[in-house]
Chain A
Amino acid sequence: MSRDQILSNLRTSLASSRSWLAGEAQGASHDIPPYVLPPADNLADQFTAELRSLSGQVYRVGDDAGAVGQIGAILAEKGASQVIAWDMREIGLAGLPQLLAARGVALAATDIQGGGRHDRLQELEPASICISGVEAGIAESGSLLLRHGPGRPRLASLLAPYHIAVLRSSQLVRGLGDALAQARSRYGDDIFTATSNLTLITGPSRTADIEMTLSLGIHGPQEIHVVLIEQAAAAR
Chain B
Amino acid sequence: MTTQSISFYERVDGALHDASLKTALSRATERFIGNRAGAIGALSDEAALRDTARAIRAGALSRLDELLAQLATNVESRGGTVCWASDGEEARTYIAELAKARGVRSIVKSKSMASEEIHLNHALEEAGLEVVETDLGEYIIQLAGETPSHIIAPSIHKTREQVSELFHQHLGVPLTDDIQTMTQTARTALRQRFLKADMGISGVNFGVADEGAVVIVENEGNARLSTTVPRIHVAIMGIERIVARMEDLGVMLQVLARSATGQKLSVYTSMISGPARSGEEDGPEEFHLVLLDNGRSKILGGEYAEALLCIRCGACLNACPVYQAIGGHAYGGVYSGPIGAVLTPLLQPDLPEAYMLPQASSLCGACQEVCPVRIAIPDMLLRLRADAVKAGKAHPVEKAAMRGYVMTMNNPAVYRAGGRAARLGSRLIGRKGRIRRLPPPLSGWTHGRDFPTLSGTSFGEWWEEREKKRKEAAQ
Q: Which residues of A contact B (CB under 8 A)?
A: 1-3, 5-7, 9-18, 20-22, 24-38, 50, 110-113, 117-118, 121-122, 125, 138, 140-143, 148-151, 153-155, 158, 175-177, 180-181, 183-184, 191-213, 215-221
Q: Which of B7-15, B23-31, B387-395 contacts A (4 or more CB under 8 A)?
A: B23-31
Cα of A121 to Cα of B281 in the assembled complex, Å: 12
Residues of B within 8 Å of A29, CB to CB, are: 52, 55
B85 touches which one: A2, A191, A209 (CB < 8 A)?
A2
- A150 vs chain B, min Cβ distance (A): 3
Q: Considering the complex, which residues of chain B in the window 407-440 have a beta carbon less than 8 Å from any beta carbon of chain A?
A: none
Cα of A88 to Cα of B68 in the assembled complex, Å: 40
Residues of B within 8 Å of A121, CB to CB, are: 195, 229
Say whether B329 faces chain A, with CB atoms less than 8 Å apart: no
* Contact indicator B267/A206 (Cβ below 8 Å): yes
* Contact indicator B86/A6 (Cβ below 8 Å): yes
Cα of A184 to Cα of B221 in the assembled complex, Å: 26
Given A7-B68, A22-B59, A207-B220, A177-B280 contact (CB < 8 Å): no
State how many residues of chain B have any CB contact under 8 Å with chain A.
Answer: 107
B64 touches which one: A14, A193, A212, A220 (CB < 8 A)?
A14
- A14 vs chain B, min Cβ distance (A): 6
* Contact indicator B220/A205 (Cβ below 8 Å): yes
Residues of B within 8 Å of A217, CB to CB, are: 183-184, 187
Q: Considering the complex, which residues of chain B in the window 282-307 have a beta carbon less than 8 Å from any beta carbon of chain A?
A: 282-283, 285, 287, 291, 293, 297-302, 305
CB-CB nearest 9 A-B residue pairs: A220-B221, A13-B301, A150-B279, A25-B59, A177-B250, A24-B58, A9-B297, A209-B137, A21-B62
B61 touches which one: A21, A26, A192 (CB < 8 A)?
A21
B281 touches which one: A10, A110, A203 (CB < 8 A)?
A110
Say whether B163 faces chain A, with CB atoms less than 8 Å apart: yes
* Contact indicator B293/A6 (Cβ below 8 Å): yes
Cα of A103 to Cα of B137 in the assembled complex, Å: 40
Residues of A within 8 Å of B268, CB to CB, are: 199-202, 205, 220
B155 touches which one: A21, A26, A33, A209 (CB < 8 A)?
A209
14 new A-B contacts at CB < 8 Å, known A12-B301, A150-B278: A10-B300, A14-B65, A25-B59, A30-B248, A32-B48, A36-B44, A110-B281, A113-B281, A155-B228, A197-B228, A197-B270, A200-B253, A205-B221, A215-B180
- A178 vs chain B, min Cβ distance (A): 8
22 contacts between A and B (CB under 8 A): A6-B293, A10-B68, A13-B299, A13-B302, A14-B300, A20-B305, A25-B55, A27-B54, A140-B264, A153-B280, A154-B228, A154-B283, A176-B250, A177-B250, A180-B247, A184-B246, A197-B272, A202-B266, A207-B183, A208-B261, A212-B28, A220-B220
Cα of A153 to Cα of B277 in the assembled complex, Å: 12
Residues of A within 8 Å of B49, CB to CB, are: 32, 34, 36
Render B216-230 as a binary contact track against A, CB cut-off 8 A, 1 for contact: 000111101100110
* Contact indicator B301/A2 (Cβ below 8 Å): no
Render B197-220 as a binary contact track against A, CB cut-off 8 A, 1 for contact: 000000000000001110000011
Residues of A within 8 Å of B140, CB to CB, are: 209-210
* Contact indicator B251/A32 (Cβ below 8 Å): yes
B84 touches which one: A6, A181, A212 (CB < 8 A)?
A6
Render B124-138 as a binary contact track against A, CB cut-off 8 A, 1 for contact: 000000000011110
Say whether B104 faces chain A, with CB atoms less than 8 Å apart: no
Cα of A30 to Cα of B252 in the assembled complex, Å: 11
Q: Which residues of B contact A (CB under 8 A)?
A: 24, 27-28, 31-32, 42-44, 48-49, 51-52, 54-56, 58-59, 61-62, 64-65, 68-69, 72, 78, 84-86, 90, 134-137, 140, 153-156, 158-160, 163, 179-180, 182-184, 186-187, 190-191, 195-196, 211-213, 219-222, 224-225, 228-229, 231, 239, 246-251, 253-254, 261, 263-283, 285, 287, 291, 293, 297-302, 305
Cα of A198 to Cα of B195 in the assembled complex, Å: 22
Cα of A183 to Cα of B132 in the assembled complex, Å: 35
Closest residue of chain B to A30 (Cβ to Cβ) is B56
* Contact indicator B195/A125 (Cβ below 8 Å): yes
* Contact indicator A6/B297 (Cβ below 8 Å): yes
Residues of A within 8 Å of B136, CB to CB, are: 207, 209-210, 218
Given A2-B86, A6-B239, A202-B265, A30-B55 contact (CB < 8 Å): yes
* Contact indicator B196/A118 (Cβ below 8 Å): yes
B267 touches which one: A11, A110, A201 (CB < 8 A)?
A201
Residues of B within 8 Å of A205, CB to CB, are: 219-221, 267-268
* Contact indicator A25/B62 (Cβ below 8 Å): yes
Closest residue of chain B to A31 (Cβ to Cβ) is B247
Residues of B within 8 Å of A26, CB to CB, are: 55
* Contact indicator A21/B58 (Cβ below 8 Å): yes
A38 touches which one: B32, B44, B78, B273 (CB < 8 A)?
B44
* Contact indicator A118/B195 (Cβ below 8 Å): yes
Residues of A within 8 Å of B191, CB to CB, are: 125, 219
Given A29-B52, A219-B221, A17-B305 contact (CB < 8 Å): yes
Cα of A191 to Cα of B293 in the assembled complex, Å: 29
Cα of A110 to Cα of B228 in the assembled complex, Å: 12
Residues of A within 8 Å of B224, CB to CB, are: 154, 158, 199, 219-220
- A111 vs chain B, min Cβ distance (A): 4
Residues of B within 8 Å of A11, CB to CB, are: 65
* Contact indicator B248/A112 (Cβ below 8 Å): no
Residues of A within 8 Å of B196, CB to CB, are: 118
Residues of A within 8 Å of B266, CB to CB, are: 202
* Contact indicator B239/A195 (Cβ below 8 Å): no
Of B31, B55, B85, the most chain A CB neighbours within 10 A belong to B55
Residues of B within 8 Å of A35, CB to CB, are: 44
* Contact indicator B158/A210 (Cβ below 8 Å): yes
Residues of A within 8 Å of B52, CB to CB, are: 28-30, 32, 34
Cα of A199 to Cα of B269 in the assembled complex, Å: 6
Given A17-B301, A34-B250, A199-B270, A141-B264 contact (CB < 8 Å): yes
- A64 vs chain B, min Cβ distance (A): 25
Closest residue of chain B to A199 (Cβ to Cβ) is B270
Residues of A within 8 Å of B186, CB to CB, are: 218
Cα of A92 to Cα of B274 in the assembled complex, Å: 28
Of A2, A197, A215, the most chain B CB neighbours within 10 A belong to A197
